[in-house]
Amino acid sequence: HVQLVESGGGSVQVGGSLTLSCVASGDTIGRYCMGWFRQIPDREREGVAGIESDGSTSYADSVKGRFIISQDGAKKTLYLQMNSLKPEDTALYYCAADSRPKSRDYLLLNRNEYNYWGQGTQVTVS
């Protein structure tokens, strides 16, 4: 079993930056793939960025060049560095993890590919 706890959300001005963190505990999380998702009311949860256990990454087109996903050396904390933030980035951001490696990097952005989820942290850009 894996527990995920996000932090770092808040309010930021357009063009500003914010870094989200997700602390993972439980199973051997270092072998897991992990991802960041976001959701606004009445919309489906969408993949933002994902990272495999080997370090390969995938990003949604809407955030490429602005967001960076990374992990600490022990792979206990997942980060999402968000730069040049836009109002459309406003959402509840979730951290997710899954023990199954993905056959294609784009699957890292598929919410159905993840079994474990955090509670979310709100990001508001205005």
Confidence band of 90 (pLDDT split at 50, 70, 90): very high
Q: Rounded to 5 degrees, what are φ and ψ at 36?
A: -115, 135
State residue 44's pLDDT score.
96
Confidence band of 17 (pLDDT split at 50, 70, 90): very high
For the chain, the average pLDDT equals 94
**What is the distance between the alpha carbons of residues 34 and 97, in angstroms, rounded to a whole number?**
4
- Both ends of the chain: CA-CA distance in Å? 37
pLDDT tens for 65-83 read 999 999 987 878 999 999 9
State residue 74's pLDDT score.
80
State residue 73's pLDDT score.
76
